[in-house]
Amino acid sequence: MEAWFGVNAAGGVYAPLNLAARGRYLEHTLNIAESRTLVAHAALVERLVGLDLPHLETVIVTGGEPPVELPWRTLTMDQIRDSAGCGRPSVARPREPWDDMSLIYTSGTTGPSKGVRAAYATFWNYHRVFLEPYVGAGDRFLQPLPMFHTAGTGITYSMLLAGGSVALVERFSARTFLDDTRRLNATATLVLHAMTSFLLAQPRRDDDRDNPVRVAYMGPLGHAKEFSERFGISVYTNFGMTEAPGPLASGLDPQNEASCGRPVDPVNYEVRLVDKHDLPVPRGAPGELVLRHSLPWMINLGYKNMPEATARAWRNGWFHTGDQFREDDEGNFYFLDRVKDAIRRRGENISSFEVEAEILAHADVREVAVVAVPNPDVAEGTGDEEVKAVIVLEPDAELEPEDLIRFLLPRMPRYWLPRFVELAPELPRTESYKVRKAELRTAGITSATWDRERSRMTLECEVVR
């Protein structure tokens, strides 16, 4: 936070890096940002050795002396604090709403990370749609996410705007989470992706509800009612992304857990579902979510040094999220899939998200990721895909793939049924707990993958050939 506020006060752009970054990925992110100054912990600076960083001029080391000699001007944070100018930053002009405040990288779950340019106004909009309806000056937000994540930065910024406070912890821990809320007197927090499952998997305690938290953001909604009843915490959800503060929100304690909510500001923050030609789709039909705002600078300023990616995302005057949704007759929006994650099988489109939801209904399944793999029985390049499910079981559970398929038979269309099933000890995840589906697709069919067709399993009304 000290580095972030100092950089902005000096007129610079805050560009936080993933703490797992190293090698070519670290070189890629620093060079996209054209970073001239880098603040790095002493335990991490060795990762810079051997990288080609033509823009970098100064490395400021915190947490001790640098353990290696670096080819750039190197200072310690103590030297910066002891300098004559410390505490009296000189800014050429006041920061304006349209100025770049941060450069935060996408999670890279579907391809190389892109640096998203966000203005000060963008983070004001983040506060307005994400936290303002739920927190105020008397709240303290327990922030368990890394600060290189938009939610981590956005929450901190938002709590400052609200006049509240933020409590930072080094990392999320399901075992200590409730104790952290008590120790830090946190009245609000968030749980993302697998975090909900991790918390519910903890042994029940008599004091589960004895915590100061009154509201939590849950993204996406999952076991929301069970979570609220067990811990005494109201929840809400909001669909958003690194590039765009959430245009959809549910309100507190939504009854419809399948929905992401409705548009938060349909007059000024427009949303639309479109086909591949950017034409609106009929209500109830799947389409890509696109959006725009009546005020400038409210979404994102494009991708740093990636003009082609920016043009693709902002075509025809709308920002394209890359996410597929449908809208029901009441105006509720339902996430179906990342457009890149949708599976095309025998001419039918399949939502991996919807298949995952049905598999998660099995009592022995703790986590699942559904991805497309090429159909091995057709010529390469035809584009026909098969459904693969990578499953993490509950502790001590056992589940045969054939039994899973029998469980799914009455729950989904036949063409949704996974042909391939693989059991895994864990799913690969980003530091923000998103599943790295690109990694699972690349792995494809492995020696550990069960093949329904090769197993000769017979489905009702199906002939084994």
Q: Report the distance separating Cα 400 and Cα 355, nearest Å.
A: 18
Q: What is the pLDDT of residues 242-281, one digit of tens each?
A: 899 999 999 999 999 889 999 999 999 999 999 999 999 9
Q: What is the DSSP letter of 131?
A: I
Please give the model's pTM, rounded to 2 decimal places. 0.77
Task: Return the SS3 of 97.
Answer: coil
Q: Does residue 87 carry a pLDDT above 70? A: no
User: Which pLDDT value is given to residue 109?
Assistant: 45
The band of 210, judged by pLDDT with boundaries at 50, 70 and 90, is very high
Q: What is the pLDDT of residues 24-70, one digit of tens each?
A: 878 888 999 999 999 999 999 999 999 999 999 999 999 988 889 99
Task: Return the SS3 of 143.
Answer: strand
**Is-cis flag, bond preceding 67, omega within 30?**
no
Q: Report the distance separating Cα 46 and Cα 40, nearest Å.
A: 10
Query: Pick from 407, 396, 424: which is nearest to 358 by CA?
Result: 407
Name residues whose C-beta falls within 8 Å of residue 58's C-beta, 6 or more positions apart in sequence. Answer: 36, 37, 38, 72, 73, 74, 75
Structural domains for the chain: 2-82 (no CATH), 113-337 (3.40.50.12780), 342-451 (3.30.300.30)
The band of 462, judged by pLDDT with boundaries at 50, 70 and 90, is very low
Long-range CB contacts for residues 423-426, cutoff 8 Å, separation at least 24: 423/391, 423/392, 423/393, 423/399, 423/448, 424/390, 424/391, 424/392, 424/448, 425/392, 426/367, 426/392
Q: What is the pLDDT of residues 171-206, one digit of tens each?
A: 889 999 999 999 999 999 999 867 888 899 899 999
Mean pLDDT of 405-432: 88
Answer yes or no: are the C-beta atoms of 215 and 234 closer than 8 Å: yes
The band of 91, judged by pLDDT with boundaries at 50, 70 and 90, is low
Q: At 270, which helix (H) or strand (E)?
A: strand 269-274
Q: Report the distance separating Cα 124 and Cα 134, nearest Å.
A: 15
Mean pLDDT of 72-78: 91
User: Which pLDDT value is given to residue 192?
Assistant: 82
Task: Return the SS3 of 361.
Answer: coil
Mean pLDDT of 292-307: 95
Mean pLDDT of the chain: 88
Task: Return the SS3 of 22.
Answer: coil
